[in-house]
Amino acid sequence: MDQPKYHIDIFWSDEDGGYIANVPALRYCSAFGESYEEALREVLVAMDLHLDTLRELGHPIPAPEGSGISEGAIQGAFENWIETLEDNTELNRRALQTLNKLTDAQRQAIREFWAGTEATRRKAEG
């Protein structure tokens, strides 16, 4: 099967200390490389795997976009960004709930420890 021709963005990332290659039309399809060429090679592998997975799952294959940034690409990127924020908000909420439960359990364990220690001390003084 011929590989669809997708637009690939490749840019330097100071934060990651290397090149990032991203395929905007394929959500979450990106790769890292220490060189521009390595990032391109890696994203081509990632793109093959991404498309194979979509096919295996019976999902539609996104049509390649033309060169440049279209209004649809901007809207899609914005929607992805909003969804990621919402996912992170929910993840943070769950993490906070878990942390609160652990903190409550630690407090209870400390109370029980000191209550036992106090009872042992009283018994020894007895």
With a cut of 50, say whether residue 67 has pLDDT above it: no
For residue 35, what pLDDT is reported?
A: 94
Q: What is the 3-state secondary structure (H, E, C) of 12-71?
A: EECCCCEEEEECCCCCCCEEEECCHHHHHHHHHHHHHHHHHHHHHCCCCCCCCCCCCCCH
For residue 115, what pLDDT is reported?
A: 85
CATH classification at residue 12: 3.30.160.250
Domain boundary among 67, 95, 110: 67
For residue 96, what pLDDT is reported?
A: 86
**Are 88 and 117 members of one domain?**
yes
For residue 1, what pLDDT is reported?
A: 46
**Are 19 and 56 members of one domain?**
yes
**Are 44 and 80 members of one domain?**
no
Across the range 12-29, mean pLDDT stands at 92
Count other C-beta atoms under 10 Å from residue 39's C-beta: 24
Across the range 63-85, mean pLDDT stands at 71
Domain that holds residue 108: 69-126
**Are 74 and 43 members of one domain?**
no
For residue 70, what pLDDT is reported?
A: 59
Tokens coding 19: 């090149």
**Are 62 and 81 members of one domain?**
no
